[in-house]
Amino acid sequence: MKATLRLRFITAVLCLGLLTPSARRVFAADARQKVRIVHASRSNAATPQFLAQSKGFYKSEGIDVELIQINPRLAATAVVNGDAALASAFLSTFRATLQGFPMKLVFVALKRGPYFIVSRPEIKDVDQLRGKKLGVATIRGADHLVAEEMLQARGFNPIQLQALSIGDAPVRMQALLSGAVDAICVSPPHDFLLQRMGYRVLAGPPAFGVPGSGLITSDRLLRENPNLIKRTLRAVLRAHRFIFENKTETLRVMMQWLPQTAEVAEHSYEFELKNLTVDGLMSDAELDSLITRLGDKRRPLDEVRDFTLVR
């Protein structure tokens, strides 16, 4: 009964516009908008999102973010169907956009994913990969594409090895340890962990590579609620700035996000997080070059990216 009376009172006051500024902030906090962000794997690449959550950056923008790990091949469908507001897995989701999914790239977090090709200890040179098995997350995914480019840069034709779709980084690492594959392409900290166990880094990080993460949303959400996307992007940019300016605290947050030693976290910070974008942008020339390298269907850039809000 008391709750009902309180609700009626609040409704009346709202209608009269008599709430004080402090009261308005209280009710705004209670009515934070829910935002689901899907990411490909529980890795240090997702640190900016977790940091924005743990430091209250999302909360200060009036949003309540839920981070959900899903297969990157399902991310585009989740965004278009409205099951998620944004997807951070870059290449698979961007490819779906090129293929006609009604989505747009609105933020680039990592322009160049720091991938490494790591092999069994007895393989000492890329030439010894001839006829061997390379474990990747997905065929023609980011790690597969970058692995082929790194091998080609060393004069090795990737057609001479067999690429196998294994799954996310921990699974690929286990496949190498078990002998199911002869080499894998992974990003930090898995390259570092494997080196400590005697495995050999044959190549990496790439000179060019492809974006490792970003944010892609649906055309519908951009049209119906651009302010929600803008507030989310502002929180993520704040997290990027925090990472650049507060290494010690960022390492602590990374170890809270994932079970890892300070040494492992610092390796990821140096090779991955220090390469985050300052502004979340990617030039049209860079995007054109990426699309050409992907060899996918071309669409006008205005149909696949919209950096208006992040600008």
Q: What CATH number does the domain containing 279 carry?
A: 3.40.190.10
**Taking the model in full, what pTM does it have?**
0.83
In angstroms, how far apart are the furthest CA atoms of the chain? 78
pLDDT at 24: 39
pLDDT at 94: 95
Instruction: Please state, rounded to an integer, the average pLDDT across all residues of the chain.
Output: 88
Shared-domain flag, residues 215 and 156: no
Residue 284 lies in a domain: yes
Shared-domain flag, residues 107 and 221: yes
Mean pLDDT of 238-255: 96
Helix or strand holding residue 135 (H, E): strand 133-136
Shared-domain flag, residues 59 and 179: no
Instruction: Give per-residue pLDDT as tens, 247-288.
Output: 999 999 999 988 899 999 999 999 999 899 999 999 999 999
Shared-domain flag, residues 217 and 106: yes
Mean pLDDT of 96-102: 95
Q: Look up tokens 């390379």; give the residue.
A: 134
Question: For residue 31, what pLDDT band results from cuts at 50, 70 and 90?
Answer: low
> Which among 203, 226, 247 is the end of a domain?
203
Shared-domain flag, residues 228 and 85: yes
Mean pLDDT of 71-76: 88
Residue 144 lies in a domain: yes
Shared-domain flag, residues 89 and 126: no
Mean pLDDT of 27-35: 66
Decide if pLDDT at 102 tops 90: yes
If one counts the domains in the chain, the total is 2
pLDDT at 215: 97
Residue 53 lies in a domain: yes
Amino acid at 213: S
pLDDT at 43: 82
For CA atoms 168, 264, 68, 233, give the dihedral sign. Answer: negative
Mean pLDDT of 58-82: 94
Residue 221 lies in a domain: yes
Mean pLDDT of 118-128: 96
Q: How many CA atoms lie within 13 A of 28 on its CB side?
A: 12
Residue 131 lies in a domain: yes
Residue 14 lies in a domain: no
Shared-domain flag, residues 51 and 187: no
- Name which of 282, 295, 304, 280 is nearest 96 in CA terms: 304
- Name which of 231, 233, 237 is nearest 216 in CA terms: 233
Shared-domain flag, residues 253 and 145: no
Shared-domain flag, residues 151 and 222: no
pLDDT at 168: 84
Contacts (Cβ under 8 Å, ≥6 apart) of 103: 76, 79, 80, 93, 96, 97, 216, 217, 218, 219
| Nearest-angstrom CA–CA distance, 198 and 90 | 31
Decide if pLDDT at 7 tops 80: no
Decide if pLDDT at 242 tops 80: yes
Phi, psi of 294, rounded to the nearest 5 degrees: -70, -30
Instruction: Give per-residue pLDDT as tens, 149-190.
Output: 999 999 999 999 999 999 888 899 999 999 999 999 999 999
> Higher model confidence: residue 210 or residue 247?
247
Decide if pLDDT at 241 tops 50: yes
pLDDT at 258: 87
Shared-domain flag, residues 88 and 132: no
Shared-domain flag, residues 170 and 184: yes
Residue 311 lies in a domain: no
> Higher model confidence: residue 273 or residue 1?
273
Mean pLDDT of 84-113: 94
Residue 47 lies in a domain: yes
> Higher model confidence: residue 17 or residue 257?
257
Decide if pLDDT at 224 tops 90: yes
Domain region containing 285: 27-112+211-303
> Which among 203, 219, 234 is the end of a domain?
203
Contacts (Cβ under 8 Å, ≥6 apart) of 308: none
How many residues make up the chain in this entry? 311
Decide if pLDDT at 15 tops 80: no
Instruction: Give per-residue pLDDT as tens, 33-48.
Output: 999 999 987 788 889 9
Amino acid at 102: P
> Higher model confidence: residue 295 or residue 286?
286
Shared-domain flag, residues 73 and 129: no
Q: Look up tokens 């910070």; give the residue.
A: 269
| Nearest-angstrom CA–CA distance, 87 and 89 | 6
> Which among 180, 203, 226 is the end of a domain?
203
Decide if pLDDT at 5 tops 50: no
Decide if pLDDT at 228 tops 70: yes
